[in-house]
Protein backbone atom coordinates (compact mmCIF):
# COMPACT_ATOMS: atom_id res chain seq x y z
CA UNK A 1 0.00 0.00 0.00
CA UNK A 2 1.48 3.43 -0.86
CA UNK A 3 2.24 5.29 2.36
CA UNK A 4 -0.11 7.94 3.69
CA UNK A 5 2.29 10.76 2.76
CA UNK A 6 2.12 9.67 -0.85
CA UNK A 7 -1.64 9.33 -0.78
CA UNK A 8 -2.12 12.64 0.99
CA UNK A 9 0.25 14.73 -1.08
CA UNK A 10 -1.37 18.00 -2.07
CA UNK A 11 -2.80 17.78 -5.51
CA UNK A 12 -4.74 20.19 -7.60
CA UNK A 13 -8.47 19.67 -7.66
CA UNK A 14 -9.06 16.75 -10.01
CA UNK A 15 -10.03 18.56 -13.17
CA UNK A 16 -12.51 15.87 -14.13
CA UNK A 17 -13.90 15.21 -17.56
CA UNK A 18 -16.75 17.23 -18.96
CA UNK A 19 -19.84 15.15 -19.73
CA UNK A 20 -19.39 13.67 -23.17
CA UNK A 21 -15.60 14.07 -23.15
CA UNK A 22 -13.48 10.95 -23.66
CA UNK A 23 -13.28 9.48 -20.18
CA UNK A 24 -11.27 6.31 -19.57
CA UNK A 25 -12.84 5.75 -16.15
CA UNK A 26 -16.37 5.74 -17.54
CA UNK A 27 -15.23 3.75 -20.57
CA UNK A 28 -13.98 1.05 -18.23
CA UNK A 29 -17.15 1.03 -16.13
CA UNK A 30 -19.41 0.99 -19.18
CA UNK A 31 -17.47 -1.85 -20.80
CA UNK A 32 -17.90 -4.11 -17.76
CA UNK A 33 -18.65 -7.72 -18.52
CA UNK A 34 -18.02 -10.76 -16.35
CA UNK A 35 -15.47 -13.22 -17.66
CA UNK A 36 -15.87 -16.95 -17.02
CA UNK A 37 -13.02 -18.40 -19.10
CA UNK A 38 -9.38 -17.65 -18.47
CA UNK A 39 -6.07 -18.53 -20.11
CA UNK A 40 -3.40 -20.09 -17.90
CA UNK A 41 -1.40 -16.86 -17.73
CA UNK A 42 -0.58 -15.84 -14.15
CA UNK A 43 -1.36 -12.54 -12.50
CA UNK A 44 1.97 -10.78 -11.87
CA UNK A 45 2.60 -9.90 -8.20
CA UNK A 46 2.83 -6.21 -9.15
CA UNK A 47 -0.69 -6.36 -10.59
CA UNK A 48 -2.04 -8.25 -7.57
CA UNK A 49 -0.40 -5.67 -5.33
CA UNK A 50 -2.24 -2.83 -7.07
CA UNK A 51 -5.52 -4.71 -7.05
CA UNK A 52 -5.21 -5.22 -3.29
CA UNK A 53 -4.27 -1.57 -2.76
CA UNK A 54 -7.35 -0.48 -4.68
CA UNK A 55 -9.53 -2.91 -2.72
CA UNK A 56 -8.32 -1.46 0.57
CA UNK A 57 -8.97 2.09 -0.63
CA UNK A 58 -12.70 1.35 -1.01
CA UNK A 59 -14.99 3.34 1.25
CA UNK A 60 -15.87 1.41 4.37
CA UNK A 61 -18.74 1.94 6.77
CA UNK A 62 -17.62 4.09 9.76
CA UNK A 63 -14.05 3.28 8.70
CA UNK A 64 -14.48 -0.03 10.51
CA UNK A 65 -12.91 -1.98 7.63
CA UNK A 66 -14.95 -4.99 8.60
CA UNK A 67 -13.65 -7.36 5.95
CA UNK A 68 -10.57 -9.40 5.14
CA UNK A 69 -9.28 -10.78 1.87
CA UNK A 70 -7.92 -14.28 1.34
CA UNK A 71 -5.83 -14.53 -1.83
CA UNK A 72 -6.22 -18.04 -3.22
CA UNK A 73 -3.69 -19.01 -5.89
CA UNK A 74 -2.82 -22.56 -4.81
CA UNK A 75 -4.02 -24.70 -7.75
CA UNK A 76 -5.16 -27.62 -5.56
CA UNK A 77 -7.01 -25.32 -3.22
CA UNK A 78 -8.68 -23.59 -6.17
CA UNK A 79 -9.97 -26.99 -7.33
CA UNK A 80 -11.39 -27.66 -3.87
CA UNK A 81 -13.00 -24.23 -3.77
CA UNK A 82 -14.47 -24.83 -7.22
CA UNK A 83 -15.97 -28.15 -6.07
CA UNK A 84 -17.94 -26.50 -3.27
CA UNK A 85 -18.84 -23.34 -5.22
CA UNK A 86 -21.12 -24.67 -7.93
CA UNK A 87 -18.31 -26.38 -9.86
CA UNK A 88 -17.92 -23.52 -12.32
CA UNK A 89 -14.71 -24.26 -14.30
CA UNK A 90 -13.47 -20.66 -14.23
CA UNK A 91 -12.96 -20.91 -10.47
CA UNK A 92 -10.04 -23.30 -10.88
CA UNK A 93 -8.90 -21.71 -14.17
CA UNK A 94 -8.44 -18.17 -12.93
CA UNK A 95 -4.99 -16.88 -12.01
CA UNK A 96 -6.13 -15.77 -8.58
CA UNK A 97 -9.34 -15.95 -6.59
CA UNK A 98 -9.76 -13.22 -4.01
CA UNK A 99 -12.18 -14.22 -1.28
CA UNK A 100 -13.65 -11.19 0.42
CA UNK A 101 -14.74 -12.14 3.91
CA UNK A 102 -17.04 -10.18 6.13
CA UNK A 103 -14.90 -9.90 9.24
CA UNK A 104 -15.87 -8.43 12.59
CA UNK A 105 -13.24 -10.39 14.54
CA UNK A 106 -10.97 -7.34 14.84
CA UNK A 107 -13.88 -5.25 16.08
CA UNK A 108 -14.84 -7.80 18.72
CA UNK A 109 -11.18 -8.07 19.68
CA UNK A 110 -10.62 -4.36 20.34
CA UNK A 111 -13.77 -4.23 22.47
CA UNK A 112 -12.79 -7.31 24.48
CA UNK A 113 -9.25 -6.01 24.89
CA UNK A 114 -10.69 -2.97 26.66
CA UNK A 115 -13.23 -4.92 28.66
CA UNK A 116 -16.08 -3.20 26.82
CA UNK A 117 -19.21 -5.20 26.08
CA UNK A 118 -19.67 -5.66 22.33
CA UNK A 119 -23.15 -4.25 21.70
CA UNK A 120 -23.05 -4.40 17.90
CA UNK A 121 -24.47 -7.92 17.89
CA UNK A 122 -27.31 -6.88 15.62
CA UNK A 123 -28.25 -7.37 12.01
CA UNK A 124 -26.90 -3.95 11.04
CA UNK A 125 -23.38 -5.21 11.75
CA UNK A 126 -23.94 -8.12 9.37
CA UNK A 127 -25.12 -5.71 6.66
CA UNK A 128 -22.19 -3.37 7.28
CA UNK A 129 -19.62 -6.15 7.06
CA UNK A 130 -21.27 -7.67 3.99
CA UNK A 131 -21.41 -4.25 2.34
CA UNK A 132 -17.78 -3.47 3.15
CA UNK A 133 -16.59 -6.77 1.69
CA UNK A 134 -18.57 -6.26 -1.49
CA UNK A 135 -17.42 -2.66 -1.97
CA UNK A 136 -13.80 -3.74 -1.65
CA UNK A 137 -14.50 -6.52 -4.13
CA UNK A 138 -15.86 -4.06 -6.67
CA UNK A 139 -12.83 -1.79 -6.28
CA UNK A 140 -10.59 -4.81 -6.87
CA UNK A 141 -12.57 -5.78 -9.95
CA UNK A 142 -12.34 -2.29 -11.44
CA UNK A 143 -8.61 -2.15 -10.68
CA UNK A 144 -7.99 -5.54 -12.31
CA UNK A 145 -10.06 -4.62 -15.35
CA UNK A 146 -8.17 -1.33 -15.66
CA UNK A 147 -5.03 -3.41 -16.19
CA UNK A 148 -6.76 -5.48 -18.87
CA UNK A 149 -7.66 -8.52 -16.76
CA UNK A 150 -11.00 -10.26 -16.81
CA UNK A 151 -12.96 -10.73 -13.59
CA UNK A 152 -16.00 -12.53 -12.29
CA UNK A 153 -17.52 -12.15 -8.86
CA UNK A 154 -18.43 -15.33 -7.06
CA UNK A 155 -21.40 -15.35 -4.71
CA UNK A 156 -21.17 -19.12 -4.86
CA UNK A 157 -18.59 -18.89 -2.06
CA UNK A 158 -21.75 -18.90 0.11
CA UNK A 159 -22.99 -22.26 -1.25
CA UNK A 160 -21.35 -24.34 1.43
CA UNK A 161 -20.26 -21.97 4.18
CA UNK A 162 -18.96 -24.56 6.68
CA UNK A 163 -16.68 -26.21 4.10
CA UNK A 164 -15.60 -22.85 2.75
CA UNK A 165 -14.73 -21.79 6.29
CA UNK A 166 -12.72 -24.95 6.88
CA UNK A 167 -10.88 -24.70 3.55
CA UNK A 168 -9.76 -21.13 4.22
CA UNK A 169 -9.43 -21.45 8.00
CA UNK A 170 -12.00 -18.75 8.71
CA UNK A 171 -12.51 -18.29 12.46
CA UNK A 172 -15.56 -17.12 14.40
CA UNK A 173 -16.81 -13.67 13.30
CA UNK A 174 -15.56 -14.24 9.73
CA UNK A 175 -17.43 -15.68 6.73
CA UNK A 176 -16.78 -15.73 2.97
CA UNK A 177 -18.96 -13.01 1.55
CA UNK A 178 -18.03 -12.84 -2.13
CA UNK A 179 -15.18 -14.03 -4.36
CA UNK A 180 -13.46 -12.38 -7.28
CA UNK A 181 -11.83 -14.51 -9.97
CA UNK A 182 -9.12 -12.64 -11.89
CA UNK A 183 -7.14 -13.70 -14.94
CA UNK A 184 -6.45 -13.11 -18.59
CA UNK A 185 -9.79 -13.43 -20.38
CA UNK A 186 -10.23 -16.30 -22.81
CA UNK A 187 -13.71 -15.24 -23.93
CA UNK A 188 -15.60 -12.10 -24.68
CA UNK A 189 -19.34 -12.39 -24.43
CA UNK A 190 -19.83 -8.64 -24.56
CA UNK A 191 -21.86 -6.54 -22.20
CA UNK A 192 -25.27 -7.65 -20.97
CA UNK A 193 -28.14 -5.21 -21.45
CA UNK A 194 -29.42 -3.72 -18.21
CA UNK A 195 -33.01 -3.02 -17.21
CA UNK A 196 -34.34 0.26 -18.62
CA UNK A 197 -33.55 3.22 -16.44
CA UNK A 198 -37.28 4.04 -16.30
CA UNK A 199 -37.93 1.08 -13.98
CA UNK A 200 -34.80 1.42 -11.88
CA UNK A 201 -34.32 5.11 -11.28
CA UNK A 202 -36.80 7.61 -9.95
CA UNK A 203 -36.35 11.13 -8.72
CA UNK A 204 -37.19 12.26 -5.18
CA UNK A 205 -39.86 9.63 -4.67
CA UNK A 206 -39.80 5.93 -5.44
CA UNK A 207 -41.61 5.13 -8.64
CA UNK A 208 -41.54 1.52 -9.85
CA UNK A 209 -41.90 2.71 -13.45
CA UNK A 210 -43.81 1.29 -16.41
CA UNK A 211 -43.17 -2.42 -15.78
CA UNK A 212 -45.74 -3.63 -18.31
CA UNK A 213 -43.92 -2.07 -21.24
CA UNK A 214 -40.39 -1.97 -19.89
CA UNK A 215 -40.06 -5.64 -18.99
CA UNK A 216 -41.14 -7.05 -22.39
CA UNK A 217 -38.84 -4.52 -24.08
CA UNK A 218 -36.00 -5.63 -21.86
CA UNK A 219 -36.70 -9.28 -22.64
CA UNK A 220 -36.45 -8.45 -26.34
CA UNK A 221 -33.09 -6.70 -25.80
CA UNK A 222 -31.77 -9.62 -23.75
CA UNK A 223 -32.83 -12.10 -26.43
CA UNK A 224 -31.28 -9.96 -29.18
CA UNK A 225 -28.01 -9.97 -27.22
CA UNK A 226 -28.23 -13.77 -26.89
CA UNK A 227 -27.79 -13.64 -23.12
CA UNK A 228 -29.67 -16.91 -22.51
CA UNK A 229 -28.86 -18.67 -25.78
CA UNK A 230 -28.51 -22.37 -25.04
CA UNK A 231 -29.20 -21.74 -21.37
CA UNK A 232 -32.34 -22.43 -19.39
CA UNK A 233 -33.08 -22.47 -15.73
CA UNK A 234 -35.05 -25.64 -14.83
CA UNK A 235 -38.77 -25.02 -14.41
CA UNK A 236 -40.04 -26.18 -11.04
CA UNK A 237 -42.63 -28.95 -11.28
CA UNK A 238 -41.73 -30.01 -14.81
CA UNK A 239 -41.71 -33.81 -14.92
CA UNK A 240 -38.63 -35.52 -16.42
CA UNK A 241 -39.05 -35.70 -20.20
CA UNK A 242 -41.94 -33.21 -20.15
CA UNK A 243 -41.51 -30.47 -22.75
CA UNK A 244 -40.69 -27.00 -21.48
CA UNK A 245 -43.87 -24.99 -22.19
CA UNK A 246 -42.03 -21.69 -22.77
CA UNK A 247 -40.96 -21.10 -26.38
CA UNK A 248 -37.47 -19.83 -27.16
CA UNK A 249 -38.90 -16.51 -28.32
CA UNK A 250 -40.59 -16.04 -24.94
CA UNK A 251 -37.61 -16.96 -22.79
CA UNK A 252 -35.82 -13.91 -21.47
CA UNK A 253 -34.76 -12.21 -18.26
CA UNK A 254 -38.24 -12.34 -16.70
CA UNK A 255 -38.72 -16.08 -17.25
CA UNK A 256 -35.13 -16.95 -16.35
CA UNK A 257 -35.11 -14.86 -13.20
CA UNK A 258 -38.56 -15.99 -12.05
CA UNK A 259 -37.43 -19.61 -12.47
CA UNK A 260 -34.29 -18.95 -10.45
CA UNK A 261 -36.27 -17.38 -7.64
CA UNK A 262 -38.75 -20.25 -7.46
CA UNK A 263 -36.50 -23.18 -8.29
CA UNK A 264 -34.48 -25.74 -6.39
CA UNK A 265 -31.45 -23.46 -6.59
CA UNK A 266 -33.03 -21.54 -3.71
CA UNK A 267 -32.55 -24.50 -1.37
CA UNK A 268 -28.79 -24.18 -1.69
CA UNK A 269 -28.34 -21.49 0.91
CA UNK A 270 -31.20 -22.31 3.28
CA UNK A 271 -28.78 -23.00 6.11
CA UNK A 272 -26.80 -19.79 5.69
CA UNK A 273 -28.73 -17.95 8.41
CA UNK A 274 -28.07 -20.61 11.02
CA UNK A 275 -24.43 -20.73 9.92
CA UNK A 276 -24.09 -16.97 10.39
CA UNK A 277 -25.63 -17.26 13.87
CA UNK A 278 -22.92 -19.77 14.72
CA UNK A 279 -20.26 -17.43 13.36
CA UNK A 280 -21.38 -14.69 15.72
CA UNK A 281 -23.20 -12.52 13.17
CA UNK A 282 -26.53 -11.63 14.73
CA UNK A 283 -29.61 -11.65 12.50
CA UNK A 284 -31.81 -9.74 14.95
C1 LIG B 1 -22.34 -10.35 -5.66
C2 LIG B 1 -22.20 -11.07 -6.98
C3 LIG B 1 -22.05 -12.45 -6.98
C4 LIG B 1 -21.90 -13.13 -8.20
N5 LIG B 1 -21.70 -14.48 -8.17
C6 LIG B 1 -21.51 -15.16 -9.33
C7 LIG B 1 -21.26 -16.55 -9.30
O8 LIG B 1 -21.21 -17.17 -8.25
N9 LIG B 1 -21.05 -17.17 -10.49
C10 LIG B 1 -21.08 -16.49 -11.67
O11 LIG B 1 -20.88 -17.12 -12.71
N12 LIG B 1 -21.31 -15.17 -11.73
C13 LIG B 1 -21.52 -14.48 -10.58
N14 LIG B 1 -21.73 -13.12 -10.61
C15 LIG B 1 -21.71 -12.41 -11.87
C16 LIG B 1 -23.14 -12.06 -12.32
O17 LIG B 1 -23.78 -13.22 -12.76
C18 LIG B 1 -23.04 -11.00 -13.41
O19 LIG B 1 -22.49 -9.83 -12.87
C20 LIG B 1 -24.42 -10.70 -14.00
O21 LIG B 1 -24.92 -11.82 -14.69
C22 LIG B 1 -24.34 -9.53 -14.97
O23 LIG B 1 -23.43 -9.82 -15.99
P24 LIG B 1 -22.16 -8.89 -16.30
O25 LIG B 1 -21.35 -8.81 -15.03
O26 LIG B 1 -21.41 -9.58 -17.41
O27 LIG B 1 -22.68 -7.58 -16.69
C28 LIG B 1 -21.91 -12.42 -9.42
C29 LIG B 1 -22.06 -11.04 -9.39
C30 LIG B 1 -22.21 -10.37 -8.20
C31 LIG B 1 -22.36 -8.86 -8.21
- State the average pLDDT over residues 70-94: 98
Chain segment 97-131, per-residue pLDDT in tens? 999 999 999 999 999 999 999 999 999 999 999 99
Give the full edge-to-edge strand order of the sheet including 174-183: 67-72, 96-103, 174-183, 150-154
The answer on pLDDT for 12 being more than 70 is: no
Separation between Cα atoms, residue 180 and residue 99, nearest integer Å: 6
pLDDT at 129: 98
pLDDT at 13: 66
Spacing, Cα 152 to ligand 1 middle (Å): 6
Closest CA to 102 of 61, 72, 151: 61
CATH number among 3.30.420.40, 3.40.109.10, 3.40.50.300, 3.30.565.10, domain 31-190: 3.40.109.10
Torsion of CA 250, 254, 256, 261, to 10 degrees: -150
* Closest protein CA for atom 19 of ligand 1: 34
Q: Are 104 and 66 in contact (CB under 8 A)?
A: yes
Lowest mean pLDDT among 81-95, 141-155, 225-239: 225-239
| Ligand 1 proximity of 140 Cβ (cutoff 6 Å) | no
What pLDDT band is residue 6 in, cutting at 50, 70 and 90? confident
Separation between Cα atoms, residue 129 and residue 200, nearest integer Å: 25
Lowest mean pLDDT among 14-28, 94-108, 138-152: 14-28
- State the average pLDDT over residues 55-67: 98
Count CB neighbours of 227 within 10 A.
Answer: 17
- State the average pLDDT over residues 185-205: 97
The answer on pLDDT for 7 being more than 90 is: no
Count CB neighbours of 261 within 10 A.
Answer: 10
Q: In sequence order, what are the residues at sequence separation of 6 or more whose Cβ sits closer than 8 angstroms to the Cβ of residue 231?
A: 256
Q: In sequence order, what are the residues at sequence separation of 6 or more whose Cβ sits closer than 8 angstroms to the Cβ of residue 270?
A: none
| Ligand 1 proximity of 141 Cβ (cutoff 6 Å) | no
Q: What angle do CA 89, 93, 94 make, to 5 degrees?
A: 120
The residue ranking higher by pLDDT, 257 or 5, is 257
Candidate of 136, 154, 226 to mutate for ligand 1, largest count of ligand atoms within 8 Å of Cβ: 154
Supply the pTM of this predicted model.
0.96
The answer on pLDDT for 8 being more than 90 is: no
- State the average pLDDT over residues 55-80: 98
Spacing, Cα 172 to ligand 1 middle (Å): 27
Residues of the chain with CATH 3.40.109.10: 31-190
Chain segment 258-272, per-residue pLDDT in tens? 999 999 999 989 999
Chain centroid to Cα 229, Å, comes to 23
Atom of ligand 1 nearest to the CA of 86: 8
The answer on pLDDT for 165 being more than 90 is: yes
pLDDT at 1: 76
The answer on pLDDT for 2 being more than 90 is: no
What pLDDT band is residue 16 in, cutting at 50, 70 and 90? confident
- State the average pLDDT over residues 236-241: 90
Q: What angle do CA 195, 197, 203 make, to 5 degrees?
A: 140
Amino acid sequence: MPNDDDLNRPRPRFPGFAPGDPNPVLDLLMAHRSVRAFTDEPLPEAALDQVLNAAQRAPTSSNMQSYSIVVVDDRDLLKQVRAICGDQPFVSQCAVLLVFCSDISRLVHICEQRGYRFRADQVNTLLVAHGDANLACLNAAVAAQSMGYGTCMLGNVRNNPPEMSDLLGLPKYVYASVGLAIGVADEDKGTKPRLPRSVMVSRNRYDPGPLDTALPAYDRAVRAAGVYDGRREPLNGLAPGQEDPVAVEDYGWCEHTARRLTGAVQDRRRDLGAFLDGKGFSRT
